[in-house]
């Protein structure tokens, strides 16, 4: 029997999956073209298990050490995504925990991740984070520097770069948010053509704007609150 709180989460996930499918259909895409990354930052391993039980196979975490403890505590199989910023000194641990990294934003970080991935014998999938809003509080590469960074990153032997990630402007009118997502998609298309490489993925859209992101071509949407409800104060730690 699923506890009442668990039933509420499962119901939210079912509703959100239907919304994503409808948004994808509006632009002629299938629901399978969009993967929901369930963001379990600060939540216990049971949140991961609920998400997987509801059919979500992709789990997003912001912090390397929290994800390491949580993944080891989980009893289910999932694909783990790092969606928060990453320091170079944690690159070695990150490539051992995560199946994909969404937040590559510099050449030194690319080199560190590539070296760490080669030590493990695999190429880690990565997305380049774009600061499309120009906000000083956001990480990411300015749009005009994305091509130069990607030109270097695609040559790193330990990396499999296949798209871009962006965070939409918070609290802005829908037409402004849509324009930002559209700009990221156009940037992806332009850079892909210029470099002659496939960049199929766009990671964009969170709880407040994911439907706009899907309509503008997102292949990953990173959802926390809309799936799990408001987070309580404090956060999960191993053994808590």
Q: How far apart are CA 240 and CA 234, in angstroms?
A: 11
Given a contact cutoff of 8 angstroms between Cβ atoms, the answer to whether 150 and 191 are in contact is: yes
Q: What is the pLDDT of residue 1?
A: 37
Instruction: Render 41-52 in DSSP notation, one character per residue.
Output: TT--HHHHHHHH
Phi/psi of residue 163, nearest 5 degrees: 165, -170
Instruction: Average the pLDDT over 24-39 and give the result.
Output: 97
Given a contact cutoff of 8 angstroms between Cβ atoms, the answer to whether 214 and 179 are in contact is: no
Summarised one tens digit per residue, pLDDT across range 87-104 is 999 999 999 999 999 999
Instruction: Return the residue matching tokens 């918070």.
Output: 170
Confidence of residue 234 (pLDDT cuts 50, 70, 90): low
Instruction: Average the pLDDT over 217-229 and give the result.
Output: 96
Given a contact cutoff of 8 angstroms between Cβ atoms, the answer to whether 199 and 147 are in contact is: no
Q: What is the pLDDT of residue 216?
A: 98
Q: Does the pLDDT value for residue 26 go beyond 80? A: yes
Q: Does the pLDDT value for residue 139 go beyond 60? A: yes
65's tokens: 């050490």
Verdict on whether the full-model pTM lies above 0.85:
yes
Q: What is the pLDDT of residue 240?
A: 43
């Amino acid at each position: 029997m699923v506890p009442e709180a668990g039933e509420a989460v499962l119901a939210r996930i079912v509703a959100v999956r239907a919304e994503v499918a409808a948004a994808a259909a509006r632009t002629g895409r299938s629901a399978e073209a969009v993967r929901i990354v369930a963001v379990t930052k600060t939540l216990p391993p049971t949140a991961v298990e609920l998400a997987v039980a509801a059919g979500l196979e992709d789990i997003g975490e912001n912090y390397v050490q929290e994800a390491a403890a949580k993944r080891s505590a989980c009893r289910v199989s999932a694909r783990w995504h790092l969606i928060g910023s990453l320091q170079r000194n944690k690159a070695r641990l990150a490539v051992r925990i995560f199946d994909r990294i969404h937040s590559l934003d510099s050449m030194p970080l690319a080199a560190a991740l590539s070296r760490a991935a080669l030590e493990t014998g695999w190429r880690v999938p990565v997305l380049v984070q774009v600061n499309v809003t120009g906000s000083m509080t956001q990480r990411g590469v300015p749009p005009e520097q994305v091509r130069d960074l990607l030109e270097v990153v695609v040559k790193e032997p330990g990396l499999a770069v296949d798209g871009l990630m962006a965070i939409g402007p918070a609290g802005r009118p829908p037409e402004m948010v849509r324009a930002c997502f559209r700009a990221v998609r156009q940037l992806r298309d332009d850079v892909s053509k210029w470099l002659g490489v496939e960049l199929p993925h766009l990671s964009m859209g969170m709880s407040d704007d994911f439907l706009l992101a899907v309509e503008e071509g997102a292949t990953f949407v990173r959802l926390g609150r809309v799936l799990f409800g408001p987070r309580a104060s404090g956060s999960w730690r191993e053994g808590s």
